[in-house]
Structure 1
Amino acid sequence: MTQAKEGGASIRLLLVDDHQLVRDGLKARLGDLDDIVVLGEAANAEDALAAAERLQPDLALVDVGLPGMNGIELTSAFAASFPALRVLILSMYDSRGYVQSAMRAGARGYVLKDAPSAEIIAAIRAVAAGGVYLSSALTAALSGPPVESSLLTEREKEVLILIAQGASNKRVAQKLDVSVRTVETHRLNLRRKLGIETAAGLANYAIKRGWIEE
């Protein structure tokens, strides 16, 4: 755990990523800075919530792809339990759907994992200061039209509806006469296009569009 350096006030940071290598790399880079202190780290949402309660950080740097409760769901949980805690999403996904879902959940920024370290640091400082930060690489994704169902293929829509109705991957594969791996690929595409990871989220999406009944 990084200790505070002498001098001015520091940004008290919680790192949340399920990859130890990523956390170690971030701690090594941020450890050279006078204005950012890594208070703690977590590999999953449950540990992150416990750490936030214990450490009371100013900002959480959160990966989207956490096991169990994902980073967007964790952001919502942070907003409910720790309204003063600012969240900056650090993600490998550059889709409009993910960005919109994260910001709706309460994130104050979204930066890509492959961004230069200087940009990640700038994002931390901007969000900690009360601003909003979106990675410069997201400009193209956010300047286009909203993601809508017209961007889904017919098969993706079929998969979405079946999952929304409670079907497992195996059952979807049987219904559509495809392999389970194919269904998993369609589910990955749905996540990338819509920024929705859970079956409940897909059900809500389908209900709003009249594809299934509530």
Structure 2
Amino acid sequence: MAEIRVLVVDDNALLRLGLTETITIEPGLEPVGAAANATEALELVRELRPDVVTMDYQMPGESGVECTRKIMEEFPDTKVVLLSVFDSEEDIWQAVQAGVKGYLTKKAGEVEDVLEAIHEIAAGGTYFPAGIAQKLERRSGQDSLTPREMEVLTLLAEGCSNKQIVDRLGISLATVKLHILNLREKLDAADRTQAVVHAFKRGIIHLDG
């Protein structure tokens, strides 16, 4: 049986090296390359055509979710398992929407779990530990924010007033107020401030952007 060819993507050099070395000694797996960011990852996927990519969520520039989405557009048969420090319902949901077949939190996931996930998704399955699967199920029943609502929410989080949002997005004041009302309803918030707080808690937006 052919070995599963794995590309490791992580902006932390030590983690990248450690996971690559672990994959090297795992029966049935072959590390074919390593990347430090989304740009390198996409280039190596095009060049090496790995079976599985272990993808870091948070990297300089594009996130692992954005990179996964681009990989799926060009190489839909490539399997991606995402490794993240984030474990909110929204983070997991966005990753699955991008096309990941597995999701592990770095704070909880052991190397053995990563290896098991690689084998599982390479065989055509998925790998979502119980806690992750429960959050994914809860999130699937909620209304998603539209791209424009996300823009308004981000500006609210930056402390922009309604007038500033009007100027930044080039929309009317009435439209801004409608978006904020929709955000409050979708985020179950009493006012705009609480909407931002709930968005941070759910992982829709992050303090580091």
**TM-score (structure 2 length as normaliser):** 0.69
Matched, 1:41 2:34: yes
Please tell me whether residue 193 in structure 1 is matched to residue 206 in structure 2. no
Deviation at 1:67, TM superposition (A): 1.0
2:11 is matched with: 18
Name the counterpart of 1:123. Answer: 117
Shift of 1:117: 1.8
The verdict on how the C-alpha distance between 1:137 and 1:81 changes in structure 2, with shifts beyond 3 A counting, is: same
Q: Is the 8 A contact 1:98 1:192 kept in 2?
A: no
Consecutive unaligned residues in structure 1, runs of 5 or more: 1-7, 150-154, 168-185, 203-214
CA distance in 1, matches of 2:198, 2:17: 30
C-alpha displacement of 1:138: 2.1
Q: 1:188 to 1:39 in 2, by over 3 A?
A: farther
Aligned in 2, Cα 1:64/1:11: closer, same or farther, shift over 3 Å?
same
Q: Aligned partner of 1:133: which letter? A: Y
* 1:66 positional shift: 1.3
Any unmatched runs of 5+ in structure 2? 145-152, 170-194
Q: Please report how far the alpha carbon of residue 196 of structure 1 lies from its aligned counterpart in structure 2 after TM superposition.
A: 4.8
- Mapped to 1, the partners of 2:69 and 2:154 lie a distance apart of 27
Match of 2:176 in 1: none
1:66 corresponds to 2:64: no
Partner of 1:55: 48
Count of residues paired in the alignment: 168
Aligned-CA RMSD value: 3.3
TM-score, normalization by structure 1:
0.67
Residue type matched to 1:21 in 2? L
The answer (yes or no) to whether the contact 1:156–1:190 under 8 Å persists in 2 is no
User: Runs ≥4 in structure 1, deviation > 6 angstroms?
Assistant: 186-189
| Distance (whole Å) between structure 1 residues aligned to residue 202 and residue 156 of structure 2 | 15
Identity of aligned residues (%): 30
Residue 20 of structure 2: aligned partner: 27
2:154–2:205: 8 Å Cα contact kept in structure 1?
no
Distance 1:10 1:160, change over 3 A: same
